[in-house]
Amino acid sequence: MFCYQCSQTAKGTGCTVMGRCGKKDTVARLQDNLIFVMKGISAYNYHANELGRKDESVDEFLTKGLYSTLTNVNFDPEDLISLGLKAGETNLKVMKMLKEAHIDNFGEPVPVDVKVGAQLGPGILVTGHDLKALEELLKQCEGTGVKVYTHSEMLPAHGYPELNKYESLAGQLGGSYTDQRKIFSDYNVSILVTTNCIMPPKEDYIDRLFTMDLVKVPEATVIKDYNFKPLINKAIEIGPLKQEELTTISTGYGLSTILSLAPKIKELVEEDKIKRFFLVGGCDTPNPKMRYYRDFVQNLPEDTIILTLACGKYRFNDLDLGDIEGIPRLLDLGQCNDAIVAIDLALALCDLFDCELNDLPLTIVLSWMEQKAAAILWTLLYLGKKDMLIGPILPAWLNNDILNVLINNYNLSLISDSEADIKRIMG
């Protein structure tokens, strides 16, 4: 544990073994867990609020949850686990609210093949999760000749009809947030970072880097009030990109699209032509162990369907996995907050097969990096989902006591060797 939030802190630097207040290691870690999950909820809640959606019960939970971590308030580990599950429930509400707001504003996503690579003309590269910012930018780019490219978590924007209708939305450059320092250097365009994950910028692109809203790095220009003129002018001043050879990448599998395939999916499952569904996704990280996710997807048997989301998908979304009688084997559901689509889909499949969540042939393999992924993990625990695998490492704020609760109640495990994991799961 490490806590230095009050004046009693050990040696004036931090309680690391036990709190002077009486707080024990497990309680301190469960409080940290709660804070991290609430950070994730706050990010989604913030974006839903921006689109005009609010839920008082979410704000009430965030206030109550934070208060529970104050000095000398809650020393009960069981209650802090319950609060973690309540946080998961709250995150479910928030993701639903954000998804509804996205659909109301931009339509429901439909599958689309996105061009990957530079096209002739001046360009702007947009990264992050904020679709409203992208919409405003696309409006302002119309008629300027500037092409707008998505990066990382902005790729799913192409699936939304009300965003895809803009001619200026040209394609995609690069992959997950981890490649940004290379991609931002390689492509001479102006760059907009709308949310996390920004990395400390390199000097060679700092003069063409723009941020907005809560995202700040020293020396980058901050866009105010959705006035993207400085960003667009910079792109024009830089001049055109050269045409590259283009590839494509698919995204945009919304709930309605997949549910329209439900009768066929049912038939294929009953005929044993689809044996298992996998949700493999989450954050990317530069950790070399992330190679697991490509190996895992690549080695899955051909009678499996893989749902994916968030920027962990760039580990394998260039693979051609083919289809099962017309049903693509790899379906990109969107951003990390689109975990709600995966959840709604799983619940719809439960109805279709008349079974409980844990009886579905569905395995979740979650790659996590930051606190939104922690919020999603606790949402899945709240729903009672068992047998999940997480990686590349276990959250460092868990200790054996907390881990034992997660293993005993949910059979949560750490990823190991991809082939061994597949063998164990497929039986």
Binding site for ligand SF4 (CB under 6 A): 3-6, 8-9, 15, 19-21, 23, 71, 152-153, 176-177, 196-197, 283-284, 310-311, 336, 369-370, 372
Straight-line distance from the first to the last Cα atom of the chain, in angstroms, rounded to the nearest whole number: 39
How, if at all, do strands 247-251 and 147-150 pair? unpaired
d(CA 104, CA 370): 28
Closest approach of ligand SF4 to the CB of residue 72, in Å? 7
d(CA 198, CA 166): 26
What angle do the packed helices 56-67 and 25-50 form, to 10 degrees? 150
Closest approach of ligand SF4 to the CB of residue 129, in Å? 6
Q: Which is nearer to ligand SF4, 51 or 352 (CB)?
A: 51
User: Is the C-alpha dihedral spanning 131, 136, 142, 144 positive or negative?
Assistant: negative
Closest approach of ligand SF4 to the CB of residue 2, in Å? 9
Q: Which is nearer to ligand SF4, 50 or 244 (CB)?
A: 50
Alpha-helix runs per DSSP H in 338-399? 339-353, 371-382
Closest approach of ligand SF4 to the CB of residue 332, in Å? 13
Q: Which is nearer to ligand SF4, 92 or 374 (CB)?
A: 374
Q: Which is nearer to ligand SF4, 77 or 240 (CB)?
A: 77
CB 191 within 8 A of CB 125: yes
Closest approach of ligand SF4 to the CB of residue 140, in Å? 24
Q: Which is nearer to ligand SF4, 84 or 334 (CB)?
A: 334
Closest approach of ligand SF4 to the CB of residue 380, in Å? 16
Q: Which is nearer to ligand SF4, 135 or 153 (CB)?
A: 153
Residue 135 is inside which H or E element, if any? Answer: helix 131-141
How does 343-381 read in b/e, with b if 16+ C-beta sit within 10 Å? Answer: bbbbeebbeeeeeebeebbbbbbbbbbbbbbbbbbbbbb
Closest approach of ligand SF4 to the CB of residue 196, in Å? 5
d(CA 27, CA 22): 10
d(CA 65, CA 41): 11
Query: What are the tokens at 19?
Result: 């709190």
Closest approach of ligand SF4 to the CB of residue 118, in Å? 22
Residue 304 is inside which H or E element, if any? Answer: strand 304-308
Q: Which is nearer to ligand SF4, 327 or 394 (CB)?
A: 394
Q: Which is nearer to ligand SF4, 118 or 374 (CB)?
A: 374
